Structure 1
């Protein structure tokens, strides 16, 4: 009990000063938070018996919730068929090459999810810095949206395999998952019809002008309700959090400021605690271990090489420079790579060395790719190749 004030001060200090350190070092904020967590863990400040792991788990699920908010199904379903087909082709190549590498080099099957996984987190950071007009970044956003849907499905299947193995229980769990997804589709269609018949109902639930934060309250209620449903059905909570986010983005798009309010809540408190906690679980010695660093570099190299090979499907439209920029922008799956590591270590499917390697690989990929993109953008300005129509 006497350690609790020290834990609170350490966590509060890390959350407070991380943005300033990230700004001064020009590093991604999540990477700095993980590194600060490494320091906190090294000094033994965090205790496994504290409430920090619970808050961190909530932060992780809220991160998946915010990932879902980035996916507006209405916009996704109106995507041009040619773009959609090539995006599917990109992922077929990506997952096929990943399977060949995992099989050929005898990696654990968990890497079949880790290597091709896609996350919107760092892509959104690029959008904040460069805007949506860059052709390669427009494409990265589309691929990121589809990739997150595929990645969530892959994470859910991975969690089921690790929990049940390939047994009858796993098949029953998959059946439950399919039933839940079918019920979710019906729910989305029913709500769409309801709001079509009663258009004022949407704004009654979430008024445009509201001083009682009904929008945040409803969003949080959906978040916890979907998590409760996942627990009851024995499914992975990640899926529930993601679907709750998609529901908010799809049906309450008139609340333009809502994603910013929820993002401030998440990235201002819950999510930093998750990143700091992840850092605290990585042994500080791992940052200087040759074997772990070598495995981390192998993971980063494979992730980047897979993206470059798969992105060649867009070479004719984008040109070489923008194709490589797109590949690098898609090579920073930090948040979902941490999700794979978290699920893997929680199920004892990977060693602590592999867990540390995945976390460090996520950090290395984020820092190196972000730096390369900034350098290339500065020294080799875009020549206005265009694949997508401007907004």
Structure 2
């Protein structure tokens, strides 16, 4: 156990360094963790040997996989059902365009221009068709747009894009056997029953220090993850769908989501993203930087060509439309998950994995910087600020009225865990 504790200390030290870097440079923590993992493997591998970091140790692989599963679940649970019902045409239109065209375009470039195998090319299409919910949500939160209809619509479009990615990952690379049929059948039953059973189960037995809710959700995620793995699919597929079907119940329990985030971002996802970064081959990137540039340009151009006309059709032309398009061009979490899936299953080699992860990281940075520097829709920021002030004034007035009516004081957003 001595070596295990030493290794755990090393990994959490790297996670702390990555978090500090994300704070200092104002970038997504997942991005800094991937970079730290790449640098750590390069430096430690050169000084002490590649096996010292222990990226393939069973317990690190378990924590890494658990982080990916719960992170995917949380992404699905962030969907706002009411906004999606109101803006479903716009969200579905933008989301499908953001997935289909980059998926086909990036796959075609990988196959016909880079001469990769058909399987590797399809995986490239999957990995580079993604939109980073983490990056988009962070940007929305920074400017206060996450509570606006515009922000929630863009986030809903991100969910549609990533749902296409997850489904493509499972359907293209999972062998269609009797196991697949059993997995699909059980999945339909579970996804149908969970929205009905979960709120009733939580109402009767939840709200205790034993954290029954978290155990219940982990049981569902691990159980469906096992079934997906048994059927030669990917565990993140059922996790994302479980999050989506529970968005109207679990997703509105802000304290539960906050506790799950603490567990996930505090312990689990650092192992996933640092491990993902440790597989990046820096020598491969240096040897052929043109491949990275071709993939990055292809991803961004296909997103622009596909998404901007759809935003224009929904009266989002000008800065607002271009801002939406650039945010939909970002990629990080699901792109790296897809790339690591391909590496783990022998679909791509280490060099191809390095190009894909580098492209994913680049797409998390470049479109975001351009969007905020040149296309930030100031009129939406002003409207969001005015809405916050109006809500604040109403809240202040409510404080004076509530005691007279002898009502129980309502919880603030902070108390709810926002």
Q: TM-score, normalised by structure 2?
A: 0.77
Q: Which one has more relative contact order, counting CA pairs under 8 Å at least 6 apart?
A: 1
| Aligned counterpart for 1:126 among listed residues 139, 158, 163 | 139
5+ residue gaps, structure 2, are 46-51, 389-418
Q: Quick one: structure 1 residues 177 and 117, their matched pair in 2 at CA, closer, same or farther if it must change by over 3 Å? A: farther
Task: Show the 5 A alignment for 1:215-226.
Answer: 215-226=213-224
Correspondence 1:116 to 2:123: no
1-structure distance, mates of 2:381, 2:105: 27
Task: Show the 5 A alignment for 1:288-327.
Answer: 289-291=286-288, 293-311=289-307, 312-316=309-313, 317-327=315-325
- 3-state SS, counterpart of residue 254 of structure 2: coil
* Cα deviations by residue, 1:356-380 (Å, 9 ceiling, x for unpaired): 0111111111122232233236xx6
Task: Specify the alignment match of 1:244 in structure 2.
Answer: 242
Task: Specify the alignment match of 2:267 in structure 1.
Answer: 269
2-structure distance, mates of 1:360, 1:12: 23
Q: Quick one: structure 1 residues 172 and 157, their matched pair in 2 at CA, closer, same or farther if it must change by over 3 Å? A: same
Q: Quick one: structure 1 residues 129 and 346, their matched pair in 2 at CA, closer, same or farther if it must change by over 3 Å? A: same
Larger radius of gyration: 2
Q: Quick one: structure 1 residues 310 and 133, their matched pair in 2 at CA, closer, same or farther if it must change by over 3 Å? A: farther
2-structure distance, mates of 1:213, 1:63: 18
Task: Specify the alignment match of 2:391 in structure 1.
Answer: none
Task: Show the 5 A alignment for 1:32-181.
Answer: 32-42=32-42, 43-44=44-45, 45-47=52-54, 48-49=56-57, 51-71=59-79, 74-75=81-82, 78-80=85-87, 82-83=89-90, 86-87=93-94, 90=97, 91-95=99-103, 97-98=105-106, 101=109, 105=113, 108-130=121-143, 131-132=145-146, 137-160=151-174, 164=175, 170=176, 172=178, 174-181=180-187
Provide the alpha-carbon RMSD of the alignment.
Answer: 3.2
Q: Quick one: structure 1 residues 2 and 227, their matched pair in 2 at CA, closer, same or farther if it must change by over 3 Å? A: same
1-structure distance, mates of 2:95, 2:37: 37
Task: Specify the alignment match of 1:256 in structure 2.
Answer: 254
2-structure distance, mates of 1:200, 1:182: 20
Tell me whether 125-134 or 14-23 shows the greater mean CA deviation. 125-134
Alpha-carbon offset, residue 333 of structure 1: 1.8
On the 8 A contact 1:206/1:252 being kept in 2, the answer is no
Alpha-carbon offset, residue 336 of structure 1: 1.0
Correspondence 1:8 to 2:8: yes
On the 8 A contact 2:299/2:329 being kept in 1, the answer is yes
On the 8 A contact 2:68/2:272 being kept in 1, the answer is yes
Q: Quick one: structure 1 residues 258 and 57, their matched pair in 2 at CA, closer, same or farther if it must change by over 3 Å? A: same
2-structure distance, mates of 1:81, 1:140: 11
On the 8 A contact 1:37/1:280 being kept in 2, the answer is yes
Alpha-carbon offset, residue 153 of structure 1: 0.5
1-structure distance, mates of 2:278, 2:291: 20
Q: TM-score, normalised by structure 1?
A: 0.82
On the 8 A contact 1:59/1:273 being kept in 2, the answer is yes
Task: Specify the alignment match of 2:29 in structure 1.
Answer: 29
Alpha-carbon offset, residue 88 of structure 1: 6.3
2-structure distance, mates of 1:84, 1:369: 20
On the 8 A contact 1:69/1:246 being kept in 2, the answer is yes
Task: Specify the alignment match of 1:204 in structure 2.
Answer: 204
Task: Specify the alignment match of 2:397 in structure 1.
Answer: none
* Cα deviations by residue, 1:38-97 (Å, 9 ceiling, x for unpaired): 22212133134463233222222222222222235x447624454356346625555555
5+ residue gaps, structure 1, are 165-169
Correspondence 1:182 to 2:195: no
On the 8 A contact 1:156/1:238 being kept in 2, the answer is no
